[in-house]
Amino acid sequence: MRKLGFGLMRLPLVNPDDQSSIDIEKFKAMADRFIERGFTYFDTAYPYHGGKSEEALREAVVKRYPREAFTVTSKMPVWAIKEQDDLERIFNEQLERCGVDYFDYYWLHALNRERVEVMDQMDGWGFIVRKKAEGKIRHVGFSFHDDSALLREILEKHPDMEYVQLQINYLDWDSPAIESKTCYDLCVKHGKPVIVMEPVKGGSLARVPEAIERLFKDYNPDASPASWAIRYCASLPNVLTVLSGMSTMEQLDDNTTYMQDFQPLNDEEQAIIAQATQVIRDAIAIPCTACRYCAEGCPQQIAIPEYFNLYNIVQQFPELKSNSKLYHDLIAKSHGLANECLECGQCEAQCPQHIDIIDNLKLVAETFEEVK
């Protein structure tokens, strides 16, 4: 397997305000280019794009290519499991949505301590192992969003899990909140290959400050900021593949070009990454990856990731403040305002980045109320 996977959570849209409005024709063209260049790994999940990502995979790939030409990954939405029968029902629904008889890789999705307890109670671990024995899953594992102590518990308690999907990028590698390095090292210790998610941190490492872009360009004028981030993750020896949520053909062309003949970062490039990390950490105000877990259950339907993205843009590029206000007002026509937050806390409970969402929404409200 080549070390680049196509993450299907940021696909091209017909309507930018409707996550379910996937542009199937553009996605087909992107999938064709991806497969033509020798890549096979497609990563989807039950909630992506308002539940339409799995169906899009079926239309763009499964119906158009022989089964051996592609690799399918999907995930059990642990938060939706209220009783044991839900496991079988949702799993069968996912097979139908994707149009396949089996999944190459299947994960328990976005585990944290609360969700691990649910899977313990519902025997979710045993369920996916049984599905593997039935031939409906080739490889079982879990994606993870919590601390290293919980990861250690899982790896010791469930040795039959074959892989772990972790958030890794050069900005989070030494982060005490994300613990990417510590979690990666635990997987190495337990002999579990790692699938990397969020290598470009929701796109923020593709839009680096000008000083960092100059640093990258001085070394390699042809390399995009995203290529540095993805190659950083792919250079880790225990990484099986790196997922990239590609939204445009330009992004796909860039990623597949340098990953077709992947070369790990050399020592000089690693040193440049270390310099970039510190500068970028100082520049990014809210470390949101736009995974949207926070927004899906918001009672006020606040566009949390979109507002945080606009806030970060303003913090890094003050000259774009008025333009960002226009986008803010457009989003607010169909979503709740940041200052309408009820402070119920459900968003913070779902956030894999452990962001203080409530406090940061107040900053968003203050920032855009000030723009005239």
> Domain ends where: 282, 308, 332?
282
Same domain, 143 and 271: yes
Same domain, 365 and 264: no
H-helix segments, 169-221: 180-189, 210-219
User: What's the pLDDT at 372?
Assistant: 39
Same domain, 19 and 168: yes
- Contact of 163 with 193, CB cutoff 8 Å: yes
Encode pLDDT of 153-200 as tens digits: 999 999 999 999 999 999 889 876 678 999 999 999 999 999 999 999
Query: Per the structure block, which two tokens stand in for 244?
Result: 């990239």
CA distances from 67 to 62, 104, 228, 240, 257 (A): 7, 10, 32, 21, 25
- Contact of 12 with 30, CB cutoff 8 Å: yes
Handedness of CA 350, 356, 361, 367 (dihedral sign): negative
Residue 314: φ, ψ to 5°: -65, -40
- Contact of 280 with 343, CB cutoff 8 Å: no
Residues 6+ apart with CB under 8 A from 310: 324, 327, 328, 364, 368
Rg (CA), the chain: 20
Same domain, 233 and 362: no
Exposure pattern of 345-362 as b/e (b: 16+ CB <10 Å)?
Answer: eebeebbbbbbebeebbe
Same domain, 242 and 309: no
Same domain, 302 and 275: no
Q: How far apart are the first and last CA of the chain?
A: 52
Q: Does residue 245 lie in a domain region?
A: yes
- Contact of 37 with 5, CB cutoff 8 Å: no
The answer on pLDDT for 85 being more than 70 is yes
Q: How many domains does the chain have?
A: 2
Encode pLDDT of 7-53 as tens digits: 999 999 999 989 999 999 999 999 999 999 999 999 999 999 999 99
Encode pLDDT of 102-120 as tens digits: 999 999 999 988 999 999 9
Which residues are paired to 142 by β-bridges? 108, 164
> Domain ends where: 263, 282, 301?
282
Q: Can you tell me the distance from the alpha carbon of 224 to that of 245, in angstroms, rounded to the nearest whole number? A: 16
Range of the domain at 153: 4-282
Same domain, 314 and 275: no
Same domain, 316 and 353: yes
Q: Does residue 288 lie in a domain region?
A: no
Same domain, 214 and 153: yes
Q: Can you tell me the distance from the alpha carbon of 296 to that of 351, in angstroms, rounded to the nearest whole number? A: 11
Encode pLDDT of 346-366 as tens digits: 999 999 889 999 999 999 999
- Beta carbons within 10 angstroms of residue 119's beta carbon: 22
